[in-house]
Amino acid sequence: MPRPKADFEQFRPLDFRDPDEVLDEETMYTVYEVARLLQGLDPGRELDAETENVLLDWAIPWMMVNAEAFVFAEPDADDEPGYYGLA
């Protein structure tokens, strides 16, 4: 539900970091791990499905906008996610 700006005490700019500020250049990550890292969380942290889905809603567009910065490795099995790393 929309809310009036007056309901909020302060605002922050919407700022996205560059991939090299988030990922280690020698490591490959699943999209789930990238989503956690974007939020400053440990990439192995367990999250409930609802929270994970919200984080993915932010991570996937960020990865698409920065696609030229990424490489992709096929998953080990068809039911596992692929891996992404810095190009």
Question: DSSP string of 20-60?
Answer: HHHS-TT--B-HHHHHHHHTT--TT----HHHHHHHHHHHH
48, part of any domain:
yes
Q: Is residue 8 part of a domain?
A: no
12 within domain boundaries: no
pLDDT at 66: 97
In a domain, 11, yes or no: no
pTM: 0.84
Task: Count structural domains, the chain.
Answer: 1
pLDDT tens figures, 40-87: 999 999 999 999 999 999 999 999 999 999 999 999 999 999 999 999
**How would residue 38 be classed by pLDDT, with cut points 50, 70 and 90?**
very high
Q: Specify if 42 maps to a domain.
A: yes
Residue 16 lies in a domain: no
